Amino acid sequence: MTEHAHHGYISNKDAYLKRLKRIEGQARGIQNMVDEEKYCIDILTQISAMTSALESVALGLLDEHLNHCVLEAAAEGGPVAEEKLREASAAIARLVKS
């Protein structure tokens, strides 16, 4: 979806950006750990923490999408609702695979 509509997460945009910037810092930290040849387990621990942080952001965005975009489309019904449900199902499938 590329149109510039009011997305469900917009009220929490600043919080999401703050969390994503923290994750970006974690990624740089992991790069530095590899560059400095830190212990493998310590690097893996940081990767696990970063993965959990990304999953948390993803689940938050999914929840906002379901409660805003999908709920509004379901109330509207028809092909729009069907498309939003397909999108949500596909997004869930991608998250489950990751």
The enclosing domain of 36 has a CATH number of: 1.20.58.1000
Total-model pTM = 0.81
Those residues of the chain that have pLDDT short of 70 are 1-6
- Least Cα distance to 59 among 7, 9, 3, 6 occurs for 9
Residue 27 lies in a domain: yes
Is the residue at 5 inside a domain? no
In terms of C-beta density within 10 A (0-12 exposed, 13-18 middle, 19 or more buried), how is residue 91 classed?
middle
Residue 69 lies in a domain: yes
Residue 60 structural domain: 11-97
pLDDT given for residue 18 in this prediction: 97
Sign of the alpha-carbon dihedral angle for 24, 26, 28, 30: negative
